[in-house]
Amino acid sequence: MSSSNDCIINPERSGKEPQLPENGMLLINPPEAAQGMRIARQRKGRRFFLYNSNLFVINQDSAPYFMAGPAMGASVAVITLEKLIALGARNIYVLGWCGSLTSKLRTGDILLPTWGVSEEGTSAHYPLSFRPESSSGLHCRLSNIFSTVFKVGKGPIWTTDAPYRETREKVNKYGSQGIMAVDMEFSALLTVAAFRNVRLAGAMLVSDELYHSVWQPGFKSKKFREHSRNFLRLLFDNL
């Protein structure tokens, strides 16, 4: 979908940078990224520079893959994704957190987003003539991986740059429209993936519940931290 234009700065690979495997994961949040770095080192992954993030290439069982993260917020996540694509990434699995807008998703469950409602400021800079959606093949693979261990929901997600402006009115409005959760990156990542013609899908661990009369955070609980560890290791073991 990408076309030539007069952009002053373009994502590209320099001669000293690695050629990435086509398959890999982008870990949004610092806890999973820190765990991912430990796992990558255990598996003798090679580390490379990637802005304020981590980048590892793991050559395991003749099927190399990459791991990158953290990359919180739409603009940071997109800068990171653009670089990964320039280095050769073509099939990207995104792991992040989300806040549930529906009683169908509870803390510790997983949402596999199908498409995103954009209230972030990055997507508009990547014009598309269609609504971007998750890669069906990658989405199906994530479903197969996680549904054996977790309760998994599937549906659209609302992405916003302003988590402290998630009003009751918006939560109710989007929830009534079948939007299942809210995050800070996914709609922008989908848009860029479509613009650059690569495949992307995500799995979002529910960290809090917004549909109650009072916000219910769960990300500090022991159970959530355990789910987070299992969440990431499942993807490493099945990628």
Domains of the chain: 23-238 (3.40.50.1580)
Q: Is 237 exposed, middle or buried (0-12, 13-18, 19+ CB in 10 A)?
A: exposed
Which amino acid makes up residue 151?
K
Give bridge partners of residue 97 from the DSSP assignment: 205
Q: Is 200 exposed, middle or buried (0-12, 13-18, 19+ CB in 10 A)?
A: buried
Residues 73-93 have pLDDT tens digits of 999 999 999 999 999 999 999
Residues 15-63 have pLDDT tens digits of 889 999 999 999 999 999 999 999 999 999 999 999 889 999 999 766 8
Q: Does 2 score more than 60 pLDDT?
A: no
Closest alpha carbon to 26 in 79, 95, 75: 95
The beta-strand segments (E) located in the chain are 23-27, 46-50, 53-58, 65-69, 91-100, 110-119, 152-160, 181-183, 199-209, 216-217
Tokens of residue 150, six digits: 């977790």
Q: Does 1 score more than 60 pLDDT?
A: no
Q: Are the C-beta atoms of residues 21 and 58 closer than 8 Å to each other?
A: no
Closest alpha carbon to 178 in 199, 201, 155: 155
